[in-house]
Chains A and B, each alone.
Chain A
Amino acid sequence: KNEVEQSPQNLTAQEGEFITINCSYSVGISALHWLQQHPGGGIVSLFMLSSGKKKHGRLIATINIQEKHSSLHITASHPRDSAVYICAVLSGGGADGLTFGKGTHLIIQP
């Protein structure tokens, strides 16, 4: 069973700061997802990575397959970025879905 660890668990920052959230996993994967969950809200997939780096607006996600590690970066953070960010990995054929980290609770203060 893949073990997924995220750090930090909680992060409070000021508006405009550069944010980094880290994710490590124990077993080789076929893909890694970064998910976002706003308070009381649903869960949306931000990125799906199998190698390299992806960018969407102010969000950047990277993955190092050899080191079993991924990072999610937020540039010029804004209060609307406040949410829980969840790392999830897909192993094997995927029938039993993703294995999730416990999430990073991010608060961006104005």
Chain B
Amino acid sequence: DAGITQSPRHKVTETGTPVTLRCHQTENHRYMYWYRQDPGHGLRLIHYSYGVKDTDKGEVSDGYSVSRSKTEDFLLTLESATSSQTSVYFCAISEWGQGARNTIYFGEGSWLTVV
């Protein structure tokens, strides 16, 4: 199994509070992703990173920010949580390109409930 862990795994928070989810990898993979998974939508990309301090927005980035100060850590922050951000959040890591394995590994998910 790839070394990728998410924390916390479960969290209940109140509307308007900030929340940070952490993704930690031990594989030294260049690419890291945050997805959310909701019924009827499948997995949707929130933000991604292609290196330390190199990040970009995905299709559902509003209300979220990210940071990657080290290769191994990718943080997702909800500055002011809303009920619409209740979801399951998955982190993923990968290496793409010539000579790479072109595969992807997912964390076990973080269940976030905003009340």
Q: Report if A and B associate in a common complex.
A: yes
A contacts, CB < 8 Å to B: 30-31, 33, 35, 41-45, 48, 50, 86, 88, 90, 93-98, 100-103
Of B42, B90, B97, B109, the most chain A CB neighbours within 10 A belong to B42
Interface status of B48 (Cβ within 8 A of chain A): yes
CA distance A36 to B8 in the complex (A): 23
Assuming the contacts A45-B105, A94-B31, A96-B48, asked whether A102 and B42 have C-beta atoms less than 8 A apart, the reply is: yes
Interface status of B102 (Cβ within 8 A of chain A): yes
Q: Which 7 A-B pairs have the closest CB atoms?
A: A94-B96, A102-B42, A43-B106, A42-B108, A100-B43, A100-B42, A95-B50
Whether the pair A95, B96 counts as a contact (CB closer than 8 A) is yes
Contact of B31 among A31, A43, A95, A102 (CB under 8 A): A95
Contact of A97 among B94, B107, B109 (CB under 8 A): B94
Whether the pair B42, A90 counts as a contact (CB closer than 8 A) is no
Number of chain B interface residues as a range: 20 to 34
B58 CB contacts on chain A under 8 angstroms = 96
CA distance A103 to B35 in the complex (A): 15
Interface status of B103 (Cβ within 8 A of chain A): yes
Whether the pair B97, A98 counts as a contact (CB closer than 8 A) is no
Q: Smallest distance from the beta carbon of B92 to chain A beta carbons, Å?
A: 7
Contact of B97 among A41, A86, A94, A96 (CB under 8 A): A94
B104 CB contacts on chain A under 8 angstroms = 33, 45, 88, 97-98
Whether the pair A103, B42 counts as a contact (CB closer than 8 A) is yes
CA distance A44 to B1 in the complex (A): 10
CA distance A48 to B100 in the complex (A): 12
A35 CB contacts on chain B under 8 angstroms = 106
Q: Smallest distance from the beta carbon of A83 to chain B beta carbons, Å?
A: 14
B105 CB contacts on chain A under 8 angstroms = 45
Whether the pair B42, A96 counts as a contact (CB closer than 8 A) is no
CA distance A88 to B103 in the complex (A): 11
The closest CB in chain A to the CB of B41 belongs to A102
The closest CB in chain B to the CB of A40 belongs to B109
CA distance A44 to B106 in the complex (A): 7
Q: Smallest distance from the beta carbon of B59 to chain A beta carbons, Å?
A: 8
